[in-house]
C-alpha cells in the first residue's frame, strides 16, 4: 500500500481529481488530505501535520496542488525523506506571481516530479525557465461508459431525429464570475438571432455575476433567449438537450476540462477560445472550432454554420466522441497517475 498525503490550498473544486483519487484507492493507494483557505498561515499548520503523518503513518509521498505548498512544503517533505509530486492545474498563471515567489518556485521545481494536464501547461513552464524534461503530461479523463457508445450510435443513425425540435440550443457550463466572456457570448447570440430565430442559450452554473448577467441580458433585449439555470446534477441529461457546447472562460480548471470531455462524449461539437490550452482536446474542423478571444462576430458565424449544416454537426460530434473514447478516459488518466505516484 502506497500512502499519499494530498495537500491543497488552491480553493478549487477539483472534482475530476477527486474522482481519479477514488479510482487510485482501488489500486493499492491510500490518501490523507490537507486542505484549507488559500493563505500563507495555513502552510505552517500543514508543516506540523506533515511531520506528524510522516512519523506516525509513514507517509511515502506528498502531492501538492496549490502554489503555496509547492514553495513551503516541498523542501521539508524532501528533508523528511518523502517523494514529492506537483499537479499543475491548467488555470495556473505563473506570470501573476512576483519575482521572489517565482524564483522560489523554480528552485523547488527541481525537487519534485511535475505533472501537467495539457501541452500548453508544459509550454508555460518552459517559458519561465523550467526544465521540460522533468515534466510529465497526463491527459485529463472522464468516465466513458459503454452506454454512451450505444446512445451515440442511435443518435447518429437516426441523424438526430429531433433535429427539427423547437429550439436550437447552445449550452455552457461555467462559474458565473467571468462577465467579460459571458458578455461576448450574449453578443454572439444576439448576432445569430436573425438567422436562427429559434436559438436559445442555457448556462449551467452559479457565481457572483448571476444577477448582473440577468440584467445584461434584459438590457440587450435577449432575456427571453437566455436561461441561467444555476448548478445542476445529472449533467449528461442537460448535455443531451444541447446542440452545440461552448467552453467559456480563459483560465479553465480541470473541472472545466471534464465538462468539455463530457460534451464531446455526448457527441456535441465544441466551440472554445484559442490559445488557452484546449488545442489537445478541440481539433479545428475535426471536433469543433477554436475562436479568437472576445470575438463575438466569429463566434456567431460558427454557431450559424453549425445550425445550418447538420452533417457537419454530426461529423464533429462523432469525431469528438471517438477522440474521448480513445485518449481521454478516466481509466487512461488513472493508469498514468499511478505510474507517476509509484516511481
pLDDT tens-place string over residues 32-53: 888 866 556 567 677 877 888 7
Tell me the C-alpha distance between 266 and 148, whole Å: 7
Same domain assignment for residues 83 and 162: no
Same domain assignment for residues 133 and 161: no
Same domain assignment for residues 13 and 111: yes
Domain that holds residue 337: 2-140+330-342
* CB of 138 closer than 8 Å to CB of 326: no
| % of the chain with per-residue pLDDT over 90 | 67
**Average pLDDT for 227-253:** 90
Tell me the C-alpha distance between 321 and 295, whole Å: 27
Q: What is the pLDDT of residue 179?
A: 56
At 48-58, the pLDDT tens digits run 778 887 777 78
147/5: higher pLDDT: 5
Question: Cα-Cα-Cα-Cα dihedral of 20, 25, 30, 31, to 10°?
Answer: 30
Q: What is the mean pLDDT of the chain?
A: 88
Same domain assignment for residues 184 and 246: yes
Residues 6+ apart with CB under 8 A from 151: 266
Same domain assignment for residues 178 and 132: no
Same domain assignment for residues 255 and 241: yes
Same domain assignment for residues 319 and 335: no
Q: Where are the alpha helices (DSSP H) in 57-98?
A: 67-79
Same domain assignment for residues 182 and 323: yes
Same domain assignment for residues 188 and 89: no
Residue 301's closest CA among 200, 181, 225, 196?
196
Same domain assignment for residues 71 and 83: yes
Residue 209's closest CA among 237, 181, 235?
181
Same domain assignment for residues 190 and 105: no
**Count of the separate structural domains present in the chain:** 2
Classify residue 85 as left (phi > 0), alpha (psi -120 to 50) or beta.
beta
Same domain assignment for residues 322 and 334: no
At 261-300, the pLDDT tens digits run 999 999 999 999 998 889 999 999 999 999 998 899 999 9
Tell me which DSSP letter residue 118 carries: S
Q: Annotate 246-264 with b (16+ C-beta within 10 A) or e (fewer).
A: bbbbeebbbbbbbbbbbbb
* CB of 182 closer than 8 Å to CB of 210: no
Cα angle at 311 between 315 and 323, to 5 degrees?
10
Say which CATH number the domain at 285 has. 3.40.50.2000
Cα angle at 205 between 266 and 37, to 5 degrees?
120
Neighbours of 218 (CB within 10 A): 12
Amino acid at each position: 500500500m502506497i500512502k499519499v498525503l494530498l495537500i491543497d490550498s488552491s480553493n478549487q473544486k477539483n472534482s475530476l481529481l477527486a474522482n481519479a483519487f477514488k479510482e487510485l484507492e482501488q489500486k493499492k493507494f491510500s490518501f490523507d488530505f490537507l486542505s484549507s483557505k488559500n493563505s500563507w498561515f495555513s502552510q505552517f499548520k500543514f508543516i506540523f501535520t506533515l511531520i506528524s503523518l510522516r512519523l506516525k503513518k509513514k507517509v511515502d509521498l506528498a502531492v501538492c496542488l496549490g502554489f503555496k505548498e509547492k514553495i513551503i512544503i516541498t523542501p521539508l517533505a524532501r528533508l523528511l525523506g518523502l517523494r514529492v509530486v506537483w499537479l499543475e492545474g491548467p488555470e495556473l498563471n505563473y506570470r501573476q506571481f512576483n519575482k521572489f515567489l517565482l524564483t522560489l518556485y523554480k528552485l523547488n521545481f527541481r525537487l519534485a516530479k511535475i505533472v501537467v494536464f495539457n501541452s500548453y501547461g508544459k509550454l508555460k513552464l518552459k517559458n519561465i525557465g523550467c526544465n521540460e524534461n522533468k515534466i510529465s503530461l497526463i491527459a485529463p479523463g472522464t468516465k466513458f461508459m459503454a452506454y454512451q457508445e450505444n446512445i451515440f450510435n442511435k443518435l447518429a443513425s437516426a441523424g438526430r431525429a429531433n433535429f427539427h425540435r423547437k429550439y436550437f440550443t447552445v449550452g455552457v457550463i461555467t462559474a458565473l464570475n467571468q462577465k467579460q466572456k459571458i458578455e461576448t457570448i450574449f453578443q454572439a447570440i444576439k448576432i445569430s438571432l436573425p438567422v436562427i430565430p429559434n436559438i436559445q442559450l442555457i448556462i449551467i452554473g452559479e457565481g457572483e455575476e448571476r444577477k448582473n448577467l440577468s440584467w445584461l441580458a434584459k438590457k440587450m433585449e435577449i432575456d427571453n433567449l437566455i436561461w441561467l439555470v444555476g448548478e445542476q446534477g445529472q449533467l449528461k441529461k442537460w448535455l443531451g438537450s444541447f446542440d452545440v457546447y461552448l467552453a467559456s472562460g480563459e483560465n479553465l480548471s480541470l473541472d472545466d476540462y471534464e465538462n468539455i470531455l463530457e460534451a464531446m462524449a455526448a457527441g456535441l461539437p465544441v466551440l472554445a477560445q484559442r490559445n488557452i490550452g484546449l488545442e489537445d482536446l478541440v481539433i479545428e474542423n475535426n471536433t469543433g472550432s477554436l475562436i479568437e478571444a472576445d470575438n463575438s462576430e466569429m463566434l456567431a458565424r460558427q454557431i450559424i454554420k453549425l445550425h445550418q449544416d447538420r452533417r457537419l454537426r454530426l461529423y464533429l460530434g462523432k469525431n469528438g466522441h471517438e477522440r474521448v473514447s480513445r485518449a481521454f478516459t478516466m481509466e487512461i488518466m488513472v493508469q498514468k497517475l499511478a505510474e507517476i505516484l509509484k516511481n
